């Protein structure tokens, strides 16, 4: 049985007064450290509540925070300077740097035909990734089935595609959908074998989507075990959904659910990358042959459905509409 | 004259779709910066595969 889970990390609002109250209750202090016999050594310390601080920093507060050098300037104005003669010199000391855990996913510059999709399902607003593909109507976007339809259940509403999204910017505009397509097996059963969907977009400023951003070729019924590069906008930690990421690897069958017929590549992209394109070979100029579909807990492999004849029919219907 | 019944397209029984009736203006108005920022990632995360008895110590 599948389980859908959102990994979105939301910031909770937290008042400044509450932070101050926490600091008091938590034993904030600014007193000299215990004497070790050196009368001139003075160290101040304060204890803060980490959870409270994290909650306090809403996106609005982070955006409006004043640069710290403003405070430094005020300190200089007050003339609070140490007497150089009182600055102690000790033995040279260094502490080695610490590297964060590297991710498999690599950072990428925006690609004109790859973007984020936003939509509403069951009254909630969601975000996925998608890619403009070559089509007769010049307006078709490939994404995941679970990004257009509940699988099984209703289709999405309020569906838009934002190509080349980066940090809130939409350099090619926001394109609205006029129709959504998915395999019947996804629509009626949520069959993971067919987790692919296509959106047909309205023109924007009198132009079709692919005439503006280009469109990737698509391929179906290909050999298994190819090398792919997948792209997406992972939003759950350690990512933030604001920039494009990619993974490259050779596809292998899903050993846990072979009945899906899916293939996986090494990749730790998180929620938000769903629906992002898999291109055959290296880079974003290749032919699209799958999408980011699902993963397993604590297993850095991204799986994508095998694009066979049913998904090909779905594409054909969308591309010709 | 009545039209003869349309031959079903061979793909119709395996492809579903919906035509969206919302106007582009209505949809674009819906997606405020705040809604875009707060949209949740939609993902499918399957449970960890069960450990086989042979793999246990």
- Tokens linked to A255: 């050993």
- In tens, the pLDDT along A272-296 reads 999 999 999 999 999 999 999 999 9
- In tens, the pLDDT along A200-253 reads 999 999 999 999 999 999 999 999 999 999 999 999 989 999 999 999 999 999
Question: pTM, whole model, 2 decimals?
Answer: 0.73
Size of interface A-B (CB pairs under 8 A): 164
A128 inside domain:
yes
Nearest to A144 by CA among B26, B42, B29: B42
For residue A316, give the H/E element and its range. Answer: helix A309-320
Alpha carbon distance A172, A164 (integer Å): 7
A33 inside domain:
no
> Does the model's ipTM exceed the 0.85 cut?
no
Of B18, B28, B31, nearest to A179 by CB-CB distance is: B18
A150 inside domain:
yes
A86 inside domain:
no
Nearest to A117 by CA among B22, B17, B39: B39
Q: Is B19 helix (H, G, I), strand (E, B) or coil?
A: strand
Q: Which residues of A touch B46 (CB under 8 A)?
A: 2-3, 256-257, 294-297
pLDDT at A196 exceeding the cut of 60: yes
Whether residue A2 and residue B44 make contact (CB cut-off 8 A), yes or no, is yes
User: By the 8 A CB rule, do B1 and A23 touch?
Assistant: no
Q: Which residues of A touch B17 (CB under 8 A)?
A: 179-182, 317-318, 321
Supply the range of the domain harboring residue A221: 111-320
Whether residue A127 and residue B41 make contact (CB cut-off 8 A), yes or no, is yes
Q: Which residues of B touch A313 (CB under 8 A)?
A: 11, 14-15
A272 inside domain:
yes
Residue A94 pLDDT: 81
How many Å is the maximal CA-CA distance in chain B? 78
Whether residue B17 and residue A184 make contact (CB cut-off 8 A), yes or no, is no
CATH number of the domain bearing residue A299: 2.40.10.10
Q: How many domains would you assign to chain A?
A: 1
Least confident of A12-21, A71-80, A274-283, B39-48: A12-21
A100 inside domain:
no
A23 inside domain:
no
Residue A34 pLDDT: 37
Radius of gyration of chain B from Cα atoms? 24
A6 inside domain:
no
- In tens, the pLDDT along A211-225 reads 999 999 999 999 999
User: How does strand A263-266 pair with strand A252-253?
Assistant: antiparallel
Alpha carbon distance A112, A232 (integer Å): 13
Cα→Cα distances A24→A12, A30, A61, A284, B52, Å: 21, 12, 22, 54, 52
Alpha carbon distance A20, A221 (integer Å): 62
Alpha carbon distance A197, A183 (integer Å): 7
Q: Which residues of A touch B24 (CB under 8 A)?
A: 176, 202, 204
């Amino acid at each position: 049985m599948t389980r859908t889970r959102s990994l979105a990390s939301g910031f909770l609002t937290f008042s400044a007064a509450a932070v101050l109250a926490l600091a008091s209750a938590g034993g904030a202090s600014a007193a000299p450290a215990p004497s070790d016999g050196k009368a001139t050594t003075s160290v101040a310390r304060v204890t803060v509540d980490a959870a409270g601080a994290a909650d306090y920093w809403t996106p609005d507060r982070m955006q409006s925070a004043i640069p710290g050098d403003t405070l430094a300037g005020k300190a200089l104005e007050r003339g609070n300077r140490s007497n150089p003669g009182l600055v102690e010199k000790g033995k040279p000391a260094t502490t080695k740097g610490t590297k964060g855990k590297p991710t498999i996913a690599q950072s990428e510059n925006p690609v004109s035909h790859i973007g984020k999709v936003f939509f509403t399902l069951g009254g909630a607003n969601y975000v996925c990734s998608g890619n403009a593909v070559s089509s007769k109507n010049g307006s078709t976007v490939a994404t995941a089935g679970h990004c257009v339809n509940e699988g099984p259940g209703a289709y999405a509403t309020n569906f838009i595609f934002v190509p080349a999204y980066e940090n809130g910017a939409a350099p090619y505009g926001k394109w609205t959908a006029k129709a959504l397509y998915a395999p019947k097996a996804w629509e009626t059963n949520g069959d993971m074998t067919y987790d692919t969907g296509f959106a047909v977009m309205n023109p924007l400023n009198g132009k079709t989507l692919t005439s503006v951003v280009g469109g990737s070729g698509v391929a179906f019924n290909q050999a298994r075990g190819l090398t792919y590069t997948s792209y997406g906008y992972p939003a759950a930690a350690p990512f933030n959904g604001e920039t494009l990421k990619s993974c490259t690897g050779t596809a292998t069958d899903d050993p846990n659910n072979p009945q899906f017929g899916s293939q996986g590549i090494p990749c730790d992209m998180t929620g938000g990358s769903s629906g992002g394109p898999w291109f055959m070979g290296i880079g974003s100029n290749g032919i699209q042959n799958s999408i980011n579909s699902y993963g397993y807990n604590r297993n850095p492999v991204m799986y994508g459905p095998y694009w066979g004849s049913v998904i090909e029919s779905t594409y054909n219907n969308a591309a010709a509409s | 004259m009545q039209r003869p019944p349309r031959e079903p397209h061979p793909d119709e029984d395996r492809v579903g779709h919906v035509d969206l009736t919302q106007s582009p203006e209505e949809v674009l108005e819906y997606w405020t910066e705040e809604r875009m920022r707060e949209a949740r990632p939609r993902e499918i995360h399957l449970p960890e595969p069960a450990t086989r008895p042979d793999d246990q110590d």
